[in-house]
Amino acid sequence: MNKTMLGAFAVCAVVFAGVNAASHAAEPLEAGLAARDITPDTGYGHYRGESTGVNDPLQAKALVLRQGNETAALIMCDIIVVPRALSKRIRSRVAGETGIPFEHIGVAATHTHTGPSFSGDLRDYVEADEAGELTEELEQGYVAALIEQAAGAAIDAHAEAAAVSLELVRGEEDGVSFNRRFLMKNGTVRFNPGPLNPDIVRPVGPIDPETLTVLFRGEDGEAQGALTNFANHLDTVGGTEYSADYPHHIEQVLQEEFGPAFVSLFGLGASGDINHIDVNSEDRLSTQEIGEAVGETIRANLDEGTDLSPALTVESRTLFLPLQDYTEDELEWAQAYPEDDLYPQERSFLQQRRANKILSLHRAREDEAVYRLGNVIPPAASGEPWVLAVEIQAIGLSPDTAIVTMPGEVFVELGLDLKERSPFPHTMLIELANANIAYVPTEEAFRQGDYEAINSRLAPGGGEAMIDGAVEMLHALHDRLDADL
């Protein structure tokens, strides 16, 4: 490995609020960007089985921001999800080495489906670590290296932080992403019904074509790196070679423009119901076509970029949202699946995902009791639901630009609602951050059913509660900025 490289049940706890902008807004903004390689050796686990090679490298890329006494860090990893146990260890290491508060450090997955499969190894590592029994094999394994390299990228970025100016580049790319949920002629809603399916009536949801990119320029005016936000599922490559998917090609376009040292971070927008498949055509867009289309959209709008007045503010909150429940009959069915047929009306794929969901909820309860991993919290009173701790972070970059991170594969409708209600005219939502909570559908999608709703762990209303919480946080940040102006 190359080292250079829910409604009424929701309860909200304010974990940290950034200091008043008045104390540091006049100070220069400093930023550092860095990348480290996190590509496993060929033969290690892959999302689709054993890996057979490397198409392009996987990386952990970090952005560190500092203005006065306020600091923040974002780490984007080319992996499919960031379990809470993984983000906890990465964030703790970065906080210990840099002094950046734990709550100000976000670790997100780009959600590439051509990355490593490490969940079993992570569980072994966590159990041994919690027991103080880490073996040499675990300390030399991939999980330990992933923690080291992801944290190391942020530590490198912190060490390199220097004065920068900010520039916002906005564009729209509406030809590479599609809502993947469709109303069918029989009245049901189905995800990915296949190209040219004659039973399709129409998509039931929108897309978000907006590309938002923040450029970081050094004192010499040269662009050093960027953070780009776009909503489109990262499952465009296929096969069993490691690949960072289309963000790799976005980076290539931007490095062609700004030079090979340019660091391109990608934060995945709300795309729980978005992918790259156009059902009106048998042809599929290639990974390169998608990445280059987004990259060229950014490049085409560089001349229209607007300078930002830096005012760094950070807030982190944790919402406690109800989890779905299951009956004893459902648990017995899931444990025996596929021998029993409790849901004969469902496609076998959906039955499998429903069984996996029930078993994962059950394991979460058992793990919480045995290992105290912090994933779920048992009810304090009879009749109350088990709840999930959902952390949301908000970073104000300027009076008109902000970043929100939250866990889960968030439906695009929720992301658009956040943008519409945000007091910041330009708001990035970066999903799959700091924990793995599966899909976050809308209440309407729960009523419609099918894959994402069946595969979700949150009770209906959880997604709306997450957006409400984020909007409240953004208003709190903006109010502090207004008081300073």
Per-residue pLDDT of the chain (485 residues; tens, 9 = 90+): 443 333 334 444 444 344 444 455 579 999 999 999 999 999 999 999 999 999 999 999 999 999 999 999 999 999 999 999 999 999 999 999 999 999 999 999 999 999 999 999 999 999 999 899 999 999 999 999 999 999 999 999 999 999 999 999 999 999 999 999 999 999 999 999 999 999 999 999 999 999 999 999 999 999 999 999 999 999 999 999 999 999 999 999 999 999 999 999 999 999 999 999 999 999 999 999 999 999 999 999 999 999 999 999 999 999 999 999 999 999 999 999 887 778 888 888 899 999 999 998 998 888 766 555 567 888 888 889 999 999 999 999 999 999 999 999 999 999 999 999 999 999 999 999 999 999 999 999 999 999 999 999 999 999 999 999 999 999 999 998 876 65
What pLDDT, on a 0 to 100 scale, did the predictor assign at position 25? 59
Q: Tell me whether residue 33 is in a domain.
A: yes
Q: Are residues 246 and 106 in the same domain?
A: yes
Q: Are residues 123 and 36 in the same domain?
A: yes
Q: Are residues 336 and 201 in the same domain?
A: no
Contacts 24+ apart (CB under 8 A), 292-295: 292/249, 292/250, 292/252, 292/253, 293/173, 293/175, 293/176, 294/173, 294/176, 294/211, 294/228, 294/230, 294/246, 294/250, 295/249, 295/250, 295/251, 295/252, 295/253, 295/254
Q: Tell me whether residue 130 is in a domain.
A: yes
Pairing label, strands 263-268, 189-191: unpaired
Q: Tell me whether residue 2 is in a domain.
A: no
Domains contained in the chain, number: 2
Q: Are residues 269 and 134 in the same domain?
A: yes
Q: Tell me whether residue 68 is in a domain.
A: yes
By CB atoms closer than 10 A (0-12, 13-18, 19+), residue 418 is: buried
Q: Tell me whether residue 1 is in a domain.
A: no
Q: Tell me whether residue 416 is in a domain.
A: yes
What pLDDT, on a 0 to 100 scale, did the predictor assign at position 371? 52
Domain boundary residue among 377, 394, 420? Answer: 377
Q: Tell me whether residue 117 is in a domain.
A: yes
At 407, the amino acid letter reads P
Q: Are residues 104 and 22 in the same domain?
A: yes
The helix/strand/coil state of 405 is strand
Q: Are residues 308 and 170 in the same domain?
A: yes
Q: Are residues 413 and 429 in the same domain?
A: yes
Q: Are residues 310 and 341 in the same domain?
A: no
Q: Are residues 314 and 332 in the same domain?
A: no
Q: Are residues 440 and 470 in the same domain?
A: yes
Q: Tell me whether residue 12 is in a domain.
A: yes
Q: Are residues 311 and 333 in the same domain?
A: no
| Distance from C-alpha of 392 to C-alpha of 435, rounded to nearest angstrom | 10
Q: Are residues 220 and 263 in the same domain?
A: yes
Q: Which domain holds residue 65?
A: 7-321+385-484
